[in-house]
Chains A and B, each alone.
Chain A
Amino acid sequence: MKQCLVVDDSSVIRKVARRILEDMNFEITEAEDGQQALDACRSTMPDAILLDWNMPVMDGLEFLTSLRAEDGGESPVVVFCTTENDVAHIARAIRAGANEYIMKPFDREIVEAKFQEVGLI
């Protein structure tokens, strides 16, 4: 079973994402901010990361930059999932090493389409 780390400071979003991803046969771990996510990755590198942008302590972009610099940190497929929906933000995320990008609000179909796009399902 593939592992997906869901990183979002909203417990509602984490719950919705968990439900969708569990139906897609992923094993879910959760983190509330970038720092928690980085700690989680240092203990076990997941196959996929669904990543919010705006979070306290450490934001999504900072986390992604740190992750990609870690040992083995290039391997997880990172899908941003954020309300930031302008070209500048998307381009920055891609440059920092994001594999795909979901603009909130999202639904099951979009998550499935994007995960399919990057070969996770």
Chain B
Amino acid sequence: MTPGEFEFLKTFLKTRSGLVLSSDKQYLVESRLLPIARSSKLETLSAVIQTLQRGSNRTLETDVIEAMTTNESFFFRDKTPFDHFKETMLPALKEARASRRQLKIWCAAASTGQEPYSLGICLKEEASKLPGWRTRILGTDLSLEVLEKAKAGLYSQFEVQRGLPIQMLLKYFDQKGDMWQITAEMRSMIEWKKLNLLESFTHLGEFDIVFCRNVLIYFDQTTKSEILGRLAKTLPDDGFLVLGAAETVVGLTDAFKPVPGKRGLFQKKQAVQAGTGSAAGPRLAVGGGVGFRR
């Protein structure tokens, strides 16, 4: 691949998916795109890029974007966000939404489904604390191919052994030959949609919790700020935003503030200032008379 071709690919990925490809990512390009070169019978990376330049092959364009933006994922990745989910977000929202008994969760970079399913498993495990509640999880991703995999809920032996406790495997999966499939009941808890975070997502409505982990890292500062600003509009003041362990909102937006002591967890500025949302929220809600409707 020539420097010129690499530059073209950089611009192509930036405009089409927002992905920022730094110059040291040549190896990544090769490992991700060589399989496409072979399967599309173009043989070399140069041929792939020349075809992209002609702009006549939509399928190839989609394949390249998907291959470059797909991330590895595993169940209960990083663990902490799921502890925050059970210990901070659910208790706070249980009080705050006591009259409505509804929770809407959005996984904005659902990838192959492990994150939404992990949240589904958490909700199942906590079900006795949320009697009569309606919970909805939406998983979106840029790539149709990974969404198909997510929807099927079929994972290899390697995939189900990273982060998933064995008891959970027995409880929530069926063995299908060499693979493991998450149960039909769990699959029915999640709705899947193709979505590019660069495009508008107002049509998705409002959520109580948004997981948007390890995806903003691929965008430049301006795009990050812009996406965070639009994410803020999908959340009420007491809603929660979850970012990846290494991600922050500092210097990017005033719309969110870190929840103290909860790494990766953010709330709208107002909610945190009003008294750390998670801690004071439940007490306010009970004292404030929302509780009596139960």
Chain A interfacial positions (CB closer than 8 Å to B): 85-87, 90-91, 94, 100-103, 106-107, 109-110, 113-114, 116-117
Contacts and interface: CB of A to CB of B under 8 A. Distances in A.
Given A86-B175, A87-B175, A113 B161 contact: yes
Interface of B: 74, 79, 157-158, 161-163, 165-167, 169-170, 175
Given A86-B175, A103-B157, A109 B166 contact: no
Contacts of B158: 107, 110
A109 B74 CA distance: 11
Contact of A94 (B74, B163, B170): B170
Nearest to A109: B162
Contacts of B162: 109-110, 113
A17 to B, nearest CB: 15
A110 B161 contact: yes
Closest A-B pairs by Cβ, 8 of them: A101-B166, A110-B161, A113-B162, A117-B165, A103-B157, A100-B166, A87-B175, A113-B163
| Residue from the set A86, A87, A110, A113 with the largest chain B CB neighbour count within 10 Å | A113
Contacts of A117: 163, 165
Contact of B165 (A85, A100, A102, A106): A100
Contacts, number: 31
Nearest to A93: B166
Contacts of A102: 161
Contact of B161 (A86, A106, A116): A106
Contact of A87 (B74, B79, B161, B170): B170
B236 to A, nearest CB: 35
A22 B149 CA distance: 36
A90 B161 contact: no
A107 B159 CA distance: 12
B77 to A, nearest CB: 10
A85 B166 CA distance: 11
A103 B156 CA distance: 11
Given A86-B175, A87-B175, A114 B167 contact: no
A102 B169 CA distance: 12
A9 B62 CA distance: 49
Contact of A114 (B74, B157, B161, B175): B161
Nearest to A99: B166
B166 A90 contact: yes
30 contacts: A85-B157, A86-B175, A87-B170, A87-B175, A90-B166, A90-B169, A90-B170, A91-B170, A94-B166, A94-B167, A94-B170, A100-B166, A101-B166, A102-B161, A103-B157, A103-B161, A106-B161, A107-B158, A109-B162, A110-B158, A110-B161, A110-B162, A113-B74, A113-B161, A113-B162, A113-B163, A114-B161, A116-B79, A117-B163, A117-B165
